[in-house]
Homo-oligomer: A and B are copies of this chain.
Amino acid sequence: MNNKIIIAVDAMGGENSPQKIVDGIELSLKDSNENFFKLYGNKDKLNVLISKKPKINKYCEIIHCDHYIEDEESPLSAAKKSESTSMWQSIASQINGKSQITLSAGNTGALLILSRLILSMIKGVEKPALAGLWPNKIGMNVVLDLGANIECNDKNLIDFSYMGAALYKALYPETDPIIALLNVGLEEIKGHEEIKKAYQHLKQSNNKNFNFHGYIEGNHIMDGNVNVIVTDGFSGNIALKTAEGTANFITKNLRENLNKGLLNKISLLFSYNALKRFKNQLDPRKYNGAIFLGLSGPVVKSHGSTDARGLSYSIKMCNKIVKGNLIEKIKKNLIK
């Protein structure tokens, strides 16, 4: 366990957990053995799963929790539940240094509220944000806020910019972050007062840790000219889900058309590799994992419905976040 990155995992949240969690850890070990996993959840269930996989045994420790938070439970009910839930324990483990980061595939609202209750805020940040990865032509964007804050003022948008830039640099140390604010036009006069004030602040900022691009419109999110895109949680959530719905609509439509008739079926034989590459490039499991930013410890939320492969990508993200010193980078960016 020496020199390993210690990831606290809420092993009970999300579809097919804890099976998916254990399978995801197994997959991740094929890539890297830099991580050690503290699994919070039902000891009996976890023991059965891990005993079948001796290879991963030495990379895991099970910490029994009597309860867990249901995926459909309200955040309020989750907050009222005893401290013996796997989600609570996996977050609290960061406080006394038992872990360096928390990963859960469980209830997003509950994870947000419990994280805020247990972990303190980084000094100077008013609201934590939910950041995610979003593919573009040449790599990945960091986009935030994806839904933690329905209403944001200019200070929040500025904080999100600093935090998003720190996250990008932690994940992709070789590239300097370029920040843009998501807006309905490119001119300085466009948008509401909050975004205009944030624009002026970022334009005049002398912060050496990122570059400010200005505004960006929704149709250019995937162009790859910027890599940190900042918006309020209402628009960010709508943009993310609309992109997801559009991608599903188009790929389903394509599949249906290509499955009609003999000629098309023959064509599928020839284009098998191309279509596989196409599917692989757009595989949402590759950017599975949203990050809560603004808290004194890092918390990663895996998609509840992802599979073991998706979870293994979240583990990779956790590893990079700890190695990239995310929290220190955020604090550094906040010193204007």
Contact = CB atoms under 8 A, between A and B. Distances in A.
Interface of A: 137, 147, 150-151, 182, 184, 191-192, 217-223, 231, 233-235, 237-251, 253-254, 257-258, 260-261, 263-264, 266-271, 273-275, 277-278, 281-282
Nearest to A190: B150
A62 to B, nearest CB: 34
Given A249-B137, A274-B260, A242 B267 contact: no
Count copies of this chain in the complex: 2
Nearest to A260: B274
Contacts of A147: 184
Given A218-B242, A267-B269, 10 more contacts: A217-B241, A218-B245, A246-B246, A253-B281, A257-B277, A257-B281, A263-B271, A263-B274, A264-B271, A267-B271
Contacts of A240: 218
Contacts of A233: 184
Given A192-B150, A246-B247, A250-B247, A238 B184 contact: yes
**Most chain B C-beta atoms within 10 Å of own C-beta, residue among A237, A258, A267:** A267
Contacts of A223: 245
A191 to B, nearest CB: 6
A237 B218 CA distance: 8
A208 to B, nearest CB: 30
A227 to B, nearest CB: 15
A283 B184 CA distance: 23
B251 A278 contact: no
A127 to B, nearest CB: 15
Nearest to A275: B257
A245 B137 CA distance: 11
Contacts of A242: 218-219, 221, 239, 242-243, 246
